[in-house]
Amino acid sequence: MHRKPRMSRRAFAVTALSTLVVGGGTAAGVAMAGGEPSRRQASGALRGMWLATVANRDWPSKPGLTADQQRAELLAHLDTAVKRKLNAVIFQVRPTADALWPSPYEPWSQSLTGVQGEAPGWDPLGTAVEEAHARGLELHAWFNPYRIANHADPTKLVASHPARKHPDWVVTYGGKLYYNPGLPEVRAFVQDAMLDAVKKYAVDAVHWDDYFYPYPVAGQVFDDDAAFAAHGGDFSDKAAWRRDNIDKLVLETAARIKEIRPGTQFGISPFGVWRNIATDSNGSDTKAGVQTYDDLHADTRKWVRENWIDYICPQIYWNIGFAAADYAKLIPWWAEVARDSGTKLYVGEALYKAGDPAQPEAWQDPAELSKHLTFARDYPQVRGHVFFSAKEVGEDKTGAMARVVADHYQRSVRPPR
């Protein structure tokens, strides 16, 4: 699940979820030397990496670098993607209700200068788009719709922040600040803020991760009673109303992307479990402690089946054989969901777990991720893989990424369109 230090966007939502949710882990498969199978060569495959900026997870390496230093680090990540024969970079440009481009809606991100609202002296998103395209890479702009801050103190936000101007839009939950998805004015605002980037830059896709309503925090309640009373309409069930709020955000954003920049894709990377089969006969054979439908109020399966989005990239961050959420069971489940849907299926891979001593034994094997790709090759609905995240793609301390490249990425391919 895409998360962070808040660890990493996945590491919080994945590692924390590895433990709290299902116990953690992604799974595996090895590939044959010789590169992608012929069908993938003909139709293209996505080979991506997430480039996370929240809490300086991947980039910049620390706040306060000069513009030249920031730019050099960014270009180095793009060069690494080329070296690894990847063809897409998913660049986090709105990590916490802020911006990595000059936005009229939200302040400059503090990940750049260390001070929210302070201009860095250059345009990171504009540069990323231009330089990615110059290298033959797609640039997917990654936004988080509702997260405001990884702390609970509104006074720490810059005075001009929309959340300070509209305190009635804000819900404090789990020690963090969120915009309330139940308010129509919030839904309109976050769309405007995100789509400003689509108007200004030739991004290849708009990308969301796994954060919709926040992950559950034991003993705490997301206080949206007033919004439900005002806007719940005919809904008697708050959970159904919350799902409808997220459905509207997805549908409205999809339509506006097509109006603003036809050809730009819309993709979402949710937590890997929609619902467990014990909860819903349509669910996966898993025992995850978090289910996106029930806990994040995101009906990810419907978005695929009804072709609301161009691609889905579930974060299947567990190893083959992991009891609570087996990679080898989730891949066929998602492949069946995507079958004949018109929505492309990519798989989010937990490169950050490779060699981590805190992870299950399977992750100590440098071939684990390569095994994932081999396993997934048997499912033609799987059109590519995305690795979390850029830091590990470059450092590759255990050689897991090099193994993926050697076994599967000997030849360059174009992304599917």
| DSSP per-residue codes, 53-112 | -GGGSSSSSSTT--HHHHHHHHHHHHHHHHHTT--EEEEEEESSS-BSS--SSSPBPHHH
Paired residues of 29 in beta bridges: 372
Q: Is residue 164 part of a domain?
A: no
Confirm if 376 and 333 have CB atoms less than 8 A apart: no
Confirm whether pTM is higher than 0.85: yes
Q: Is residue 416 part of a domain?
A: no
CATH of the domain at 299: 3.20.20.80
Q: Using alpha carbons only, give the angle 198, 201, 207 rounded to the nearest 5 degrees.
A: 45
Lookup result for tokens 């009891």 = 323
pLDDT digits (tens, 9 = 90+) for 193-246: 999 999 999 999 999 999 999 999 999 999 999 999 999 999 999 999 999 999
Q: Is residue 177 part of a domain?
A: no
* Residue 32, C-beta contacts closer than 8 angstroms, at least 6 positions apart: 374, 407
Confirm if 362 and 318 have CB atoms less than 8 A apart: no
Q: Is residue 243 part of a domain?
A: yes
Q: Is residue 4 part of a domain?
A: no
Q: What's the chain's average pLDDT?
A: 92
How deeply is 223 buried, as exposed, middle or buried, from its count of CB atoms within 10 A (0-12, 13-18, 19+)? exposed
Q: Is residue 417 part of a domain?
A: no
Question: Residue 363: which region, alpha, beta or left (left: phi > 0; alpha: psi -120 to 50)?
Answer: alpha
pLDDT digits (tens, 9 = 90+) for 124-179: 999 999 999 999 999 999 999 999 999 999 999 999 999 999 999 999 999 999 99
Helices (H) and strands (E) in the chain, counts: 15, 11
Closest CA to 49 of 364, 397, 352: 352
Query: What confidence score (pLDDT) does residue 158 get?
Result: 98
Q: How far apart are CA 57 and CA 391, in angstroms?
A: 8
Q: Is residue 102 part of a domain?
A: yes
Q: How far apart are CA 286 and CA 334, in angstroms?
A: 12
Closest CA to 309 of 133, 140, 193: 140
- Tokens standing for 365? 């094997």
Lookup result for tokens 């989010």 = 348
Question: By residue range, what is the domain housing residue 220?
Answer: 9-145+187-408
Q: What is the pLDDT along the chain (417 residues), one digit of tens a residue?
A: 544 333 333 333 333 334 334 433 333 332 333 333 333 433 799 999 999 999 999 999 999 999 999 999 999 999 999 999 999 999 999 999 999 999 999 999 999 999 999 999 999 999 999 999 999 999 999 999 999 999 999 999 999 999 999 999 999 999 999 999 999 999 999 999 999 999 999 999 999 999 999 999 999 999 999 999 999 999 999 999 999 999 999 999 999 999 999 999 999 999 999 999 999 999 999 999 999 999 999 999 999 999 999 999 999 999 999 999 999 999 999 999 999 999 999 999 999 999 999 999 999 999 999 999 999 999 999 999 999 999 999 999 999 999 999 999 999 999 998
Cis peptide before 154 (omega within 30 of 0): no
Q: Is residue 414 part of a domain?
A: no
Instruction: Kindly state the greatest CA–CA separation across the chain.
Output: 59
Number of domain units in the chain = 1
